[in-house]
Structure 1
């Protein structure tokens, strides 16, 4: 399942779907402005903390607060180079946007804004007037954690925390899996070199993303991430190595993280997917509801 709270792409098998039946009387999660603001604030905080982690290992990046959101740059080609969380705390001023665009330009990067459709619509008009162009969309799905969640794994599959002793191996498995991504639906608008993806995973670990390992036949077969922020459980990436797909690993990773998110006191779990993707379909089968869409707006320099 592709979960884009940090680097997207996981190569989930198209046949690896949920075995959990959905009840007909389940009430879908409704996303009001307050919930959207919480989710976007958690996303912005994750981008900022990952960019700061990159700087601690020596990159020349930046993090700028702008109108309730953040602009962050970790390193060249990083998935943490973007503006997130705008639209819930007033309009950014022209001076704010000038400063952000100049900061990206100083690093040879293109400004990219991920704007929730529940944000103040004037921000979209403001950005397009400055030359930003719509390039793609991504969907934010959520699940209200108001029930009891137990870990469930198929026979022969073990889901456990992934320790530092296997970090390098875990990184290799994740990179192998994302090399063959989900191809159903709208393609991801971003692709990242293997070494950049792995460094981004290191930075996310430094930013508090918990790592999970899926073990099959005593072999590390996949992994996933979970980050908890202000009651929001961000499902931060999940991957299964190609040779181990069609075994129910993704569903097992999901159930383990749901149980841990509930135990940590979260009230909402969030997954970000590409529109129409198998990942979105699988998430909805697990009970996640489509909450809102983000527009990806990019300003290409002449």
Structure 2
């Protein structure tokens, strides 16, 4: 039975986002218009020049979610000239008057939501029966590793490579590379906050999928989390489209993680002009 609180699971995800973005190169932060603030006990990230609308978001509030709190968040986005953003609030934290709060501020339900998964560390497989080679990412390989993730996620090639490479060498981050011979073909990140490990940013190039790469990346991160004394593992991935499956979800379930809850996503956008497109969050 789950005993790690939803608030703690959300906070680890938010801390991963905050530290990785603020730890990225200054030139890339400037290019994307990155800014961050803690509001209501949560993390609010703004990227006014992000061409795909992926980075601007607010999540992990510990204070009650009220209209006043939402107004503070939206005021920050407006101050940063961010026109649209995603609000990610765990279902147990949504107030009874959430629908009214949304109507008054032009906030709409968006996308299929995200599945929050987790498990005690002892339930997560820390070895793969067989599969491709996985190693920690060295400083020398950081740029190559980041370029592969940018390609696998189909992210923009300006600004994003620096963001993706930022975790290499940062305290609390343990990035891993998936290899085919001497070529990096995938990667993933482990972020550790206290006794909780976050599996995130996992992707494999299309030509190398369905070969056990994601399973190997999960096993490597689980082994490291156990070595570091973590008690819990958490992760997020998208809800599958009806009638389809999500390979990332399937791999994590096979590795021993369990579905804890589905977190709805909400989208706020200014009415002026057209709404920018938005990408979903990282699959693990």
* Distance in 2 of aligned mates of 1:163 and 1:151: 21
Match of 1:163 among 117, 129, 138: 138
- Where in structure 2 are the equivalents of 1:179-258 lying within 5 Å? 179=154, 192-205=155-168, 206=170, 208-258=172-222
* 5+ long unaligned stretches in structure 2: 241-245, 272-284
The Cα of 1:281 is off from its aligned counterpart by 2.0
- 1:91-129 CA deviation, whole Å, 9 max, x = no partner? 3462x4334213212323313201111214347343444
Check 1:55–1:197 CA distance in 2 against 1; reply closer, same or farther (3 A cut): closer
Check 1:148–1:254 CA distance in 2 against 1; reply closer, same or farther (3 A cut): closer
Correspondence for 2:121: 145
Aligned length: 257
* Distance in 1 of aligned mates of 2:25 and 2:134: 32
Q: Secondary structure at the match of 2:84?
A: coil
- 1:193-228 CA deviation, whole Å, 9 max, x = no partner? 233432331344447432111222232222111100
Correspondence for 2:92: 118
Q: Which structure has the higher relative contact order (CA within 8 Å, separation 6+)?
A: 1
Correspondence for 1:82: 57
* 5+ long unaligned stretches in structure 1: 1-28, 180-191
Aligned-residue Cα RMSD (Å) equals: 2.5
* Distance in 2 of aligned mates of 1:150 and 1:45: 24
Correspondence for 2:282: none
The Cα of 1:64 is off from its aligned counterpart by 2.0
The question of whether the paired residues in 2 share the 8 Å contact of 1:174 and 1:239 is answered with: yes
The Cα of 1:280 is off from its aligned counterpart by 1.3
Compare 230-239 and 204-213 and name the one that shifted more.
204-213
